[in-house]
Structure 1
Amino acid sequence: MAKSTDSAASSSQSTRESLRAVKAAQKERRQQEKIRAKGNKAETKARKKATKKPGVFKQLREVFSMTRAHDPKVVLWMALAFVGALVVGLVVGLLLNNWITWLLIAIPFGLLAAVIIMNRMAERAAFARIDGRPGAAGAALSTLRRGWIVPEQPVAVSPKTQDAVFRAVGRPGVVLITEGPTTRVRPLVEKERKNMQRFLPNVPIQVLATGHGADQVELHDLAKTLKRMKKTLTKQEVQAVDKRLNSLGSAKMPIPKGIDPYRARPDRKAMRGR
């Protein structure tokens, strides 16, 4: 009888020890899961913080800093735009015998005028930063809006000099934009123009050279120059011309190292504070 009692006691004790071990293992597993969950939460939070877009004021501050580094006069021009709007509002208010109301109305318009001035000068600063680098003309073309079809890669490149020819198709026809010294890039663009004329005999093909020379177009004026060209094609014809050019399947020359990194377009939304 004593032996059976001792056996039952030892069995009960081993059972309790097994339960304690199971509970300890479960407790340790829960602690590890909590630590792992905290780590995942911190990682997710850090990832969201890294991918989160900067706010409006931060964007404006970054654009202002970049513009001021390139042209310190941006502060003066913004101040003049703001004060000018206030003066106009004050004059109108005095004429209507309600200058306080019109002065308050003029304040947001003054801020808007200052932001517009900063936007214009920021575009010039952005183009000045990439001026002279391979692919700068392509980056300037990327600011074109609807109505133009611009391939991301140049249609012709000189591997030795990195001179390039970009293409833009719009209602004025086909426009070839050169990047590099005019005399050096002329054979490259003429060869491309003659090849296109064989397949597009009735489509105007024009050439624009980017640079700082007398017959060249500045990067910040490139989009404006293209928009001012005489329109000769309809929207349907523009699509047809682009499909025709894409169907030619001409072998592309290798793109030299250094073209793609400068294809980044200026952040127009950040310039407008959106």
Structure 2
Amino acid sequence: MAKRTDSDVTNATGGEQSGKKGIFKRRNKEGKADKKPGRMKQMRDVFQMTRRNDPSVVWLMLLAFLGITAVGLLIGLLIGNWITALIIALPLGLLAAMFILSRRAERAAFSQLDGQPGAAGAALSTLRRGWITEEQPAAVDPRSQDAVFRAIGRPGVVLVSEGPPHRVKRLIEGERKRLRRILPNVSIHVVQTGDAEGQVPLSKVSKRIQKLDKELTKQEVQQVNKRISSLGNRLPIPKGVDPFKARPDRKAARGR
């Protein structure tokens, strides 16, 4: 049997080490590829999406930035220290432009959601802290795709409907009666989304709910949530399944 020389051992060890380095390099490359997009890329995507739906956002942002910068520069010239005033005015102008972008981006996002199933649930997701919401609707009609979503907060329980008023009324009343059985002393508010008379546009749903008078404490909100959770979900829908793709079991209805 031939003996392994030192050079053979060195070559083998070097080959193993180079192979390991190659594996580590590939892993590093894959790790970099799996990283989430940076903040600048996210801002660019938001800006492009907003500009497609609202072309005037560019001019509004530019006007806000230049207007605040000009005012700051003018004040600096009057007090004889325009450099300091300009240093202060530039970030303020940028902040104003970003504020306009965020507001217009929210409008653009809601305009894309308008008319799509689940839009009311997306509107509830913009509520501030202190509210308990669910991704799944509290009640849904699989045929018409009308739905009622629920939010629990200090004003009580808020039912947000999605669909024509004359058609979704049955779902709202059914959910209201169901809640009254276990929450007789808790206020139940109804907000209907849409553009018809008496309805609230998606972009204003959050503001409308935030204006409701507070009646419960934080501890009472948790108690209300526990009572509602004890009822369970009436919808025969596994978690993670799109509720709007559910269909009634016709064989079960016929007794088969």
The TM-score, its normalising length taken from structure 2, stands at 0.85
Give the corresponding residue for 2:4. 19
2 CA distance for matches of 1:212 and 1:167?
20
Q: 1:93 touches 1:100 (CA, 8 Å); kept in 2? A: yes
Structure 1 43/145 Cα, relative in aligned 2: closer, same or farther at 3 Å?
farther
RCO comparison, higher one (Cα < 8 Å, 6+): 1
Tell me the SS of whatever aligns to 2:4: helix
Residue 169 (structure 1) shift:
0.5
Would you say the 8 A contact 1:78–1:118 is kept in 2? yes
Q: Are 1:243 and 2:226 matched, yes or no? A: yes
Structure 1 residues 79-137: Cα deviation after superposition (integer angstroms, max 9, x where no partner):
11101211321332243233332123201110111111111111111222222221111
Determine which of 220, 223, 226 is the counterpart of 2:206. Answer: 223
User: Contact 2:157–2:186 at 8 Å: present in 1 too?
Assistant: yes
Matched, 1:31 2:21: no
State the identity as a percent: 52
Residue in structure 2 matched with residue 264 of structure 1 by the alignment:
none
Quote the residue 1:149 is aligned against: 132
Q: Does 1:120 align with 2:114?
A: no
Mapped contact 1:212–1:218 kept (Cα < 8 A): yes
Mapped to 2, the partners of 1:66 and 1:100 lie a distance apart of 36
Structure 1 residue 220 displacement after superposition: 1.4
Candidates 129, 135, 138, aligned match of 2:118? 135
Counterpart check, 1:49 vs 2:27: no
Instruction: Call closer, same or farther: CA 1:213–1:166 in 2, change over 3 Å.
Output: same
**Which residue number corresponds to residue 193 of structure 2?**
210
Structure 1 residue 41: deviation in Å? 1.8
3-state SS, counterpart of residue 19 of structure 1: coil
Shift of 1:25: 8.2
Would the aligned equivalents of 2:140 and 2:148 in 1 still touch at CA under 8 Å? yes
Larger Rg: 1
Residue 85 of structure 1: aligned partner:
68
**Unaligned runs of at least 5 residues, structure 1:** 1-13, 262-274
- TM-score using structure 1 length: 0.80
Paired AA for residue 78 in structure 2: L
Give the whole-Å Cα distance in 2 for the aligned partners of 1:39 and 1:223.
52
